[in-house]
Chain A
Amino acid sequence: DIQLTQSPSFLSASVGDRVTITCRASQGIRSYLAWYQQKPGKAPKLLIYAVSTLQSGVPSRFSGSESGTEFTLTISGLQPEDFATYYCQQFHNSPFTFGPGTKVDIK
């Protein structure tokens, strides 16, 4: 199975901050990577797919990029509604594994 690791696992940030979350894959996954946001008690929400394609309706402050097997989610100008847990997921090989998550909390 392809393993995804995320860093950091937890980060504390303020409104307006630029936040970067990294997802590393244990092997090449080409561009088959998505990012989700999940708030407590709610289903995940798709933010970005195919590494950098913004899902319809998602604010442009969210962006994604890659460098080899390292993928990055950036939030440019954190908003109060962005405090949540973020997961990456790969679709290169079954099983379609998720990263362990990064919780973004209010500083």
Chain B
Amino acid sequence: QVQLVQSGSEVKRTGSSVRVSCTASGGTFSTYAFSWVRQAPGQGLEWMGAIIPITATTNYAQKFQGRVTISADVSTSTSYMALSSLRSEDTAVYYCARSIEMATMANFDYWGQGTLVTVSS
């Protein structure tokens, strides 16, 4: 069965960067799209961007353009999300999610367990 396993919690200083990993098992990694979604404490879900590993095609939310980089390593079935210039408002649980449909990057059928990133000064 498909599993997405994310890296552990992080505590970062304001202005620094963080990289979260998401390793997939039980499926064909390169033929799906993977998105990153975050959820601030007590808040709703926010889509940040996505990647199609087989083509390295990325799609970022304008809000995060220039600060987020989503990448993928097909050889290890791992997607990465790097976020720079961290501020307190970036404190959130970050999820990776697999799309049912590669071309549209739509419909997230499998999710990672979430990674808490805490940003403080």
Contact = CB atoms under 8 A, between A and B. Distances in A.
Contact of B61 (A55, A87, A94): A94
Interface residues of B, number: 24
B47 A89 contact: yes
Interface stretch (A12-20, A42-50, A62-70, A73-81): A42-50
A18 to B, nearest CB: 25
Nearest to A87: B45
Contacts of B59: 94
Contacts of B37: 44
Contacts of B45: 36, 38, 44, 87, 89, 98, 101
A32 B101 CA distance: 12
A97 B47 contact: yes
A98 B107 contact: no
Closest 4 CB pairs of A and B: A95-B61, A43-B111, A91-B106, A49-B107
18 contacts: A34-B106, A36-B45, A36-B108, A43-B95, A46-B107, A46-B108, A49-B100, A89-B45, A91-B104, A91-B107, A94-B61, A95-B47, A95-B62, A96-B61, A96-B105, A98-B46, A100-B44, A101-B45
